[in-house]
A and B are shown apart, each in its own frame.
Chain A
Amino acid sequence: MPIHYYIVLALALFSIGVTGVLTRRNAIIIFMCVELMLNAVNLLLVAFSKMHAAKLAAFDMAGNVGAEAQIFVFFIMVVAAAEVSVGLAIIVMMYRNIHSVDVNFLNRLKH
């Protein structure tokens, strides 16, 4: 498939994510939208990696090129998982304190 399909898809996902983050007030949805943006980037990384690998393979007889970006993506996933655990914990604490997950109520750093 031509690369621009992936680019357009990633761009669409990212834009949906951005829009969601900007427009929604529910912390959990914002969170999901952030994940959406992350995954848009991941998708782009994998796509570009595949594209470059196809070009480089002609010069590299060992055939071990094109895997770096995919490994990078795994890193991102791991970091995102860690982030999710921390983020969800924060949201839980937030709900316990103010009985809401609306970020607009969260405009102070203290009570």
Chain B
Amino acid sequence: MANSFSSLVYWVPLLPLIGFLINGLCRNYLSKSLTGIIGSGVILISFILSVLIFNETRAESDALIVKLFDFINTNDLKIPFAFQVDRLSALFLLIITGVGFLIHLYSTAYMHEESDVHFARYFAYLNLFVFNMLLLVLGANYLIMFIGWEGVGLCSYLLIGYWFKNVDYGAAARKAFVMNRIGDLGFLLGLFFLLQQFGTLNYVSIMPAATGASVAVLTTITLLLFVGATGKSAQIPLYTWLPDAMAGPTPVSALIHAATMVTAGIYMIARSNILYTLSPVTQTVVTVIGLATALLAATIALKQNDIKKVLAYSTVSQLGYMFVGLGVGAYTGAVFHVMTHAFFKALLFLGAGSVIHAMHHEQDIRKMGGLAKKLPHTHWTFLVGCIAIAGIPPFSGFFSKDEILIGAYNVSPILYWIGLLGALMTAFYMFRLYATTFRGSFRGTHEQEHHLHESPLSMVLPLIVLALLAIVSGFIGIPELFAKDAHWLQKYLAPVFAQSNELAHAHHITHETEYILLGVSITLILVVVVYAWKRFASKPDLSEPSGFGKLLSNKWYVDELYAAIISKPLEQLSSFTLKFVEKKSIDGAVNGTGKLVQWSARQIRFWQSGQVGNYILWMVVGLVAVIVLMTTIFS
């Protein structure tokens, strides 16, 4: 049978869920090694299964729907709990479980200082994270995707706030959650519109029907879905949570930035590519937002001194490129960049984790330097990651980024040049980071220098595997320029994007132009890399930034801006409602009733004077009143 493994696809998310349950429920009884074996083992089995499924999808171009049960079943609304196995989801399965497994393996060593209970809690969250991401990718309709979508939001909250005793980390976790929730609202509204328009949420039913819908409706839907994507995939204006998400343990950052979470938005748009192709307005919005994010984040990264912050902003920036790819219709390029980015960003984060581990939780690159000799494996793998992200051929980042930029050039040359500017900044800050950290002389304390050590094998092994992947993975997408029909990924993903590619009539640039563009970009990037290396290796930038640099190092004061225009008015409103509505009005009414009764009781008390004459007088007055009343009513 051709689809024997694909029909077992539900085991791929089920295994991490089982791992989550075991680690979560038995966290008091499991030893660290057992927790590590269970946590990583389930992901490894999922990965093996994913490879088998992937292998089957190479022969099978149609999507396979594996229905488990009816999730919602009413007269008008039928939503099955079903998984969809096709080439796009299979590719994402590979990335998630593959990179996820390496991160799990790395975590067993990185988190070894934690106590047993927290170690198991960590792995339980990690497994749940992978489970939710797999659910998101595998779902055969938008609702299942939404379950996973919410799930990764929850898990990111749990993992960013993993060290929950630190108040700042808790705040970062809440920030991530709230930012995501804002996006999720857009996504949810998008789903309602979809349901209203198409009466179903199944991909297989919506996509063929999309051409029949009006452009205005599609634009609304795609824009709302894109709002969700800006939250999950950290685009302007909801990107600020991602750099703060560095509060979590470093492998978590790697997981969030590479394999899971942030790729959700890209996946969602790639999955609904037809809807986006049919609404040019949204495509423009996606392109502009993506490009703006890519540039903004790159400028911020230029001046960050926290090793993880630089990487975080580079992720935001790279995600911007992916959205540019999606916006200009280069869907394959975007997915390609997701994949290569997963490899080199996971590599960079795990490398940074290795550095932080060796430096005893020091993250400031100004206090590092000269680590190349002390951490040889971390050093060369990190260098590979930097080369890959900078886009120097023949490393993987070059191919994927180039594909996106060429796609952008096809739409408008301006997009290409702005994108290239961002790429140059990427090269600059990555090599600033590399040179400051690994070159020059050591600037930390003597004690730190004494304790510097290469990380254990279970941390180095994932680094080496990822480094190899970061080098070679670009070759699955060799552009047509170099070799005819060598773009394996494009052929592989062709059925997924077939409908969009038919609709979009992109005019392809000539090979001569492409050669010139490539030559210019590669030369510029190499110049920037050499400059950054030379400059920061010999004389690292230790001074406090001033002027424009200060603006950049303070992240354009975006957080402060949000605080001023959103948080502050909200706080003022709530303090108004607290002080006026709650205290004065509601409490006032309640307390006033009591006070009124007390006051009137004090007054009426004097009626009971003890004078018989008084009592009789009032009795007579009452009688007269009754009689008068009766006569007026009954006459």
Contact = CB atoms under 8 A, between A and B. Distances in A.
B616 A107 contact: no
Contacts of A106: 612
B610 interface: yes
A108 B611 CA distance: 9
Contacts of A104: 611-613
7 contacts: A18-B620, A22-B613, A22-B616, A104-B611, A104-B612, A107-B611, A107-B612
B616 A21 contact: yes
A107 B616 CA distance: 13
B600 interface: no
Interface in B598-635: 609-613, 616-617, 620
Nearest to A106: B612
A22 B620 contact: yes
Given A18-B620, A104-B612, 8 more contacts: A21-B616, A22-B616, A22-B620, A104-B611, A106-B612, A107-B609, A107-B612, A108-B610
B614 to A, nearest CB: 9
Interface in A66-111: 103-104, 106-108
B612 A22 contact: no
A59 to B, nearest CB: 27
Contacts of A21: 616, 620
A25 B613 contact: yes
Contacts of B613: 22, 25, 103-104
A108 B613 CA distance: 13
A106 B613 CA distance: 10
A31 B611 CA distance: 16
Contacts of B616: 21-22
Interface in A15-39: 18, 21-22, 25
A104 B616 CA distance: 12
B611 A22 contact: no
Contacts of A103: 612-613
Nearest to B620: A18
Nearest to B610: A107
Contacts of A25: 613
Q: Among B611, B612, B617, which residue has the most Cβ atoms of chain A within 10 A? A: B612
Interface in B559-609: 609
A18 B611 CA distance: 17
A94 to B, nearest CB: 11
A22 B617 contact: yes
A22 B612 CA distance: 9
B476 to A, nearest CB: 105
A103 B616 CA distance: 12
Nearest to A109: B610
Contacts of B617: 22
A91 B613 CA distance: 16
A37 B368 CA distance: 111
A102 to B, nearest CB: 10
Contacts of A18: 620
Contacts of B610: 107-108
B456 to A, nearest CB: 94
A10 to B, nearest CB: 14
Closest 6 CB pairs of A and B: A107-B610, A103-B612, A21-B616, A107-B611, A22-B617, A18-B620
Interface string B226-243: 000000000000000000
A107 to B, nearest CB: 4
B624 to A, nearest CB: 9
A101 B384 CA distance: 118
A76 B620 CA distance: 21
A4 B274 CA distance: 101
Interface string B339-354: 0000000000000000
Contacts of B609: 107
Contacts of A108: 610
A57 B613 CA distance: 46
A103 B612 CA distance: 7
A84 B620 CA distance: 21
Nearest to A27: B612
A8 B616 CA distance: 23
B618 to A, nearest CB: 10
